[in-house]
Structure 1
Amino acid sequence: MTELSDALKAARTAAGLSLSRMSQLTHYSKPYLSLIENGKRPALPEVITAYEQALSVPIGSDPVRRAHEWLVSDSPAAIQSRSGRRVGEDLAEKLEARVIELRHLDDVVGSSDLLPAIQKELSESESLLHNGSYPEHVGRRLFTTNGELAQLAGWVASDAGRYAEAQRVYLSGVSAAQQAANEPLAAQLFSTLSYQISNVGNPRDAALLARTAVKGAHGATPVVRALLLERVAWASAKAGDTEGTRRALDQVDDAYEQRSPGIDEPEWVYWLNRAEIDVMAGRCLIEIGDPGKAEPLLSKAVASYPVEHSREVALYLSWLAESYARTGNVDAARQTLSRVKDYASRMPSTRTNDRLRLVEALV
């Protein structure tokens, strides 16, 4: 706490701002900020965010530390539940922002560190929904937030190898999304569950579930539709359906090309870009027995990926190594596998460990 307090104070001082001015900019009282900067009160995540926005500099940028801070502080949902006041737009907006921050932390924080923070946030969100008082339009936002938290909790639990827990949370999220009348979000939850089943269950069941998600995603935006179709392609590839895989990959491209700056995509598809689509195409091509065409797609995509996203880099390199191994380029496969191990050591993941074992058996 002292290190973070010192960092906040140093950033404010470097910007030439008084504590009174920081109070005006962040809307927190001067005495409260003084206690935080002197290490007498914990620096809550929302306070750190307020400082970062006011000063336009990153503070407390250690992502693991940020995840741990979530565990020692009450969320706005928990505070609201205790107060008993009627929930309004302001709280809904705060909770939406917190989900976004947790989602982006998943890019750089391992599941063992992040999952407890997400579980805590999800539990407090569910308590607010059950015990709070709110108008219908605010309720829709709260249920949407809860559904998004459930999707994130399931994804991170699955990454930690806790598959039964992930499935339970995904399905609870579907219920929340349905309460919010948010069909694309419900489809995202079913689709993410299909991805898990593709990897650890029956791929044919996964393909059926993925196709059902696409069909039920009424009103889905182009990038959301592309994401849902990716899950169809992957499940089809795992099930050995070559024709279905290629058809789904073509549909992914078609959907993604329909995106437009004028279309408001949900924030939870922020990560889906051309490189990600090429990675999925490469993975599917390997699964259906065409590793030669997969290699250039994977090489280009991995080269453009942020190195701080260690888990994803390790995973995508593992498929590149597999493409080399399956085309007979064993030396390149071994060299790439060495890079996989380096990145995997930075951000442990059950998915990465499974991939390592598979590719090591090939070389």
Structure 2
Amino acid sequence: MTMFGDEMRRLMAEQGVSLRGLAKRVHYDVGYLSKVANGRKPPSVELATALDAALGADGALAALAVAKERLPGTPLDPDAEERLRKAVQQPRRVDTAVIDALAATLAAQRRLEDAIGSVPLVEPITTHLAVIEDLVLDARGPIRAKVLDVAAQWAQFCGWLHANTGTRSTARTWYDRAAEWAAEADNADMVATAWSMKGHLAWMTGRVGPMIGLSQAAQRPARRVSPGVRALAAQQEARGHALAGDGDATERKLDEAQALAARAAEHPEDEPAWIYFYSPDFLTMQRGLAYRYLGRHAQAVELLTTGLAGLPEELRRAEWAAWYLYQLAVAHEQAGEPEQACAVAAEAADIARQTRAIRLRVQLQRLHARLAATWPTLPAVTDLGEHLA
């Protein structure tokens, strides 16, 4: 509720709309709106939709309201909130209950990001980390390793949010912090994940050499890192080899990732919580993406389509899943199938609008420009342009 109210007040300030003026626009009582804005009342999806229209929020408030309904356990219970307040006031009194509360909150925030995208979470997660850093500085004795462990997970998630919203230097800083805290906590899975995420960041900036090297570094402590974490790094290395045009290395690492994923599926309880999204369908999409980079467009279309169809509905509407829809649209374009490319791109655009995924919308606009240059009179291309506008 607080996140919804924060975003509602931010939009009001951005639009220069008073609470009374907003109440007139949406035909709701001003007192009730005040309680919603200050987190004292939960918003209905109907109210959130009306506020979206009044404030030009492109579905962001409705997404928050829907996510609240899907994730009723997201807010901390009063006891957990009180423990966190006391921990902030007296950091040396942190106990396992506080750590458990931080871990539960982070798990909920990860799934909330699947529903509403990265943009609304950047500020609140960064603010949380300012508090967590204070806890890290003051933690000592047997509890310190546990504080560092959960703090590293928060730092890795914050790095992902910043990378996904375009502030890559800040993302790199948080990934480094995650690796540092995880190393002190002796959490090999998170150390490897931080290196792998830095490899992902290198991929985002077009640096194929570091992408491959960092992905390899994430796989080296094989005896201590879970098969699932190594599988993620292996498929990312495969993607780097595909970008470099090395088909044999691509196939070898994809097969290795598949074998590791099968091992992870045998003992899911041994895998870290932050790779909850990893599944055979996700790996199928990775193979499809690698094949697209290798120019094997028909196979890429088949694999990306199959992988996306296998995702749970709540993940298929996630911002990161929409990016794979974009990749599928590009594969259709490269296979000479403009109508299919436009249909898939329009679906991705709907998710990008709802999650305010600016980077994805720019990529979709570039795709449309290419389609318009090649098929300028095709009605589907015209329709996609209007949809994006």
Match of 1:225 among 227, 230, 235: 230
Match of 2:270 in 1: 264
2:302 counterpart of 1:287: no
Q: Is the 8 A contact 1:245 1:284 kept in 2?
A: yes
Give the superposition deviation at 1:75: 8.1
Q: Is the 8 A contact 2:195 2:214 kept in 1?
A: yes
Match of 2:214 among 209, 218, 222: 209
Q: Which runs of 5+ in 2 are unaligned?
A: 5-34, 43-63, 372-389
Match of 2:23 in 1: none
Matched ranges for 1:289-308 at <5 A: 289-308=295-314
Match of 2:21 in 1: none
Q: What secondary structure, in the 3-state scheme, does the structure 1 residue paired with 2:181 have?
A: helix
Matched ranges for 1:90-239 at <5 A: 90-132=97-139, 134-136=140-142, 138-216=143-221, 218-239=223-244
What is the letter of the counterpart of residue 320 of structure 1? L
Distance 2:305 2:257 in 1: 20
2:67 counterpart of 1:63: yes
Match of 2:335 among 308, 311, 327: 327
What is the letter of the counterpart of residue 353 of structure 2? S
Cα deviations by residue, 1:37-76 (Å, 9 ceiling, x for unpaired): x99x96699xxxxxxxxxxxxxx9643799x979xx9785
Q: What secondary structure, in the 3-state scheme, does the structure 2 residue paired with 1:219 have?
A: coil
Total equivalences in the alignment: 310
Counterparts in 2 of 1:189 and 1:283: CA distance versus 1, 3 Å: same
Match of 1:342 among 335, 350, 356: 350
Distance 1:43 1:83 in 2: 27
What is the letter of the counterpart of residue 133 of structure 2? E
Distance 1:206 1:281 in 2: 17
Counterparts in 2 of 1:263 and 1:306: CA distance versus 1, 3 Å: closer
Q: What secondary structure, in the 3-state scheme, does the structure 1 residue paired with 2:93 have?
A: coil
Q: What secondary structure, in the 3-state scheme, does the structure 2 residue paired with 1:107 have?
A: helix
Give the superposition deviation at 1:342: 2.0
Q: Which has the higher helix share?
A: 2
Give me the CA root mean square deviation. 3.1
Distance 2:332 2:207 in 1: 27
What is the letter of the counterpart of residue 243 of structure 1? D
2:271 counterpart of 1:274: no
Q: Is the 8 A contact 1:111 1:159 kept in 2?
A: yes
What is the letter of the counterpart of residue 137 of structure 2? H
Cα deviations by residue, 1:313-351 (Å, 9 ceiling, x for unpaired): 421211111111111112211222222222221112244
Q: Is the 8 A contact 2:113 2:318 kept in 1?
A: no
Q: Is the 8 A contact 2:352 2:358 kept in 1?
A: no
Q: What secondary structure, in the 3-state scheme, does the structure 2 residue paired with 1:166 have?
A: helix
Counterparts in 2 of 1:313 and 1:265: CA distance versus 1, 3 Å: closer
Distance 1:117 1:314 in 2: 23
Distance 2:181 2:165 in 1: 24
Distance 1:64 1:115 in 2: 18
What is the letter of the counterpart of residue 176 of structure 1? W
Distance 1:130 1:322 in 2: 47
What is the letter of the counterpart of residue 186 of structure 2? A
Q: Is the 8 A contact 2:192 2:225 kept in 1?
A: no
Cα deviations by residue, 1:182-207 (Å, 9 ceiling, x for unpaired): 11211101101111111214111111
Cα deviations by residue, 1:257-278 (Å, 9 ceiling, x for unpaired): 1121475211111110111111
Q: Is the 8 A contact 1:76 1:95 kept in 2?
A: no
Match of 1:30 in 2: none
Distance 1:168 1:74 in 2: 28
Cα deviations by residue, 1:173-229 (Å, 9 ceiling, x for unpaired): 110001101112111011011111112141111111111111135412222221121
Cα deviations by residue, 1:234-257 (Å, 9 ceiling, x for unpaired): 222233332222211111101011
Give the superposition deviation at 1:85: 4.6
Q: Is the 8 A contact 2:188 2:224 kept in 1?
A: yes
Q: Is the 8 A contact 1:311 1:343 kept in 2?
A: yes
2:329 counterpart of 1:312: no
Distance 2:292 2:220 in 1: 27
- Larger CA deviation: 267-276 vs 308-317: 308-317
| Length-normalised TM-score, structure 2 | 0.72
What is the letter of the counterpart of residue 203 of structure 2? S
Q: Is the 8 A contact 2:91 2:135 kept in 1?
A: no
Distance 1:355 1:303 in 2: 22
Distance 2:345 2:121 in 1: 26
Distance 2:100 2:351 in 1: 36
Q: Which runs of 5+ in 1 are unaligned?
A: 5-37, 46-59
Match of 1:248 among 244, 253, 270: 253
